[in-house]
Amino acid sequence: MALPASLGLERKNPLPVGRYWVFRTGLVDIEAFDKWLATHRKMQVLKVVASDFDPGGPFLNTHPPTAFVVFQVLAPNAVVWQGPGLPDRAPPHVTNRQDVEQAPIILDSAERLENAAQRAASAVTRGGETFTLLLFAAAVLYLLSQKGSHHAMHR
């Protein structure tokens, strides 16, 4: 069984203490991210755990350069995320891009709820689904929404 590649996207800013991974695509984004990393490394509030660079293909229609970086935030309220996108919370076993590309992504509660709603809507539009399946989908949505609100009450 493959271990999860992500513990979900981190939406808090500044980033909480912990491990994160990101992909950057294109030289402009990679260089901007490298400057961001360098600033926080000089402040000693962040360290790079692992990184790799793929220069991309030599021809026009091949993939652009990409960088994969695992970093650790060492101090609370010190590292302000500037995007683009959001970093993934990294489990301890993630140390290279293959760990991410070959492993399942674990969705957070909001993302699971959104996916369940999309699946339920898809079932309705296919028309071949039974009434029982639609009731089951509604029950799943209800339980997920209750779990999310119960979790939020206990924070």
pLDDT tens, position by position, 74-91: 999 999 999 889 999 999
Q: Is residue 2 part of a domain?
A: no
Residues 94, 23, single domain; the answer is yes
Total domains in the chain come to 2
pLDDT band at 102 (very low <50, low <70, confident <90, very high): confident
Mapped onto helix, strand or coil, the DSSP state of residue 88 is strand
Residues 50, 114, single domain; the answer is no
Does the pLDDT value for residue 37 go beyond 90?
Answer: yes
Does the pLDDT value for residue 145 go beyond 90?
Answer: no
Q: Is residue 88 part of a domain?
A: yes
Cα separation of 18 and 75, whole Å? 9
- Please name the residue that has the structure tokens 């399942």: 104
The boundaries of the domain holding residue 126 are 109-153
Residues 29, 84, single domain; the answer is yes
Does the pLDDT value for residue 65 go beyond 80?
Answer: yes
Q: Is residue 9 part of a domain?
A: no
More confident residue, 69 or 112: 69
- Please name the residue that has the structure tokens 């490394």: 41
Residues 82, 138, single domain; the answer is no
Cα separation of 154 and 146, whole Å? 13
Q: What is the pLDDT of residue 3?
A: 79
Residues 27, 83, single domain; the answer is yes
Q: What is the pLDDT of residue 129?
A: 46
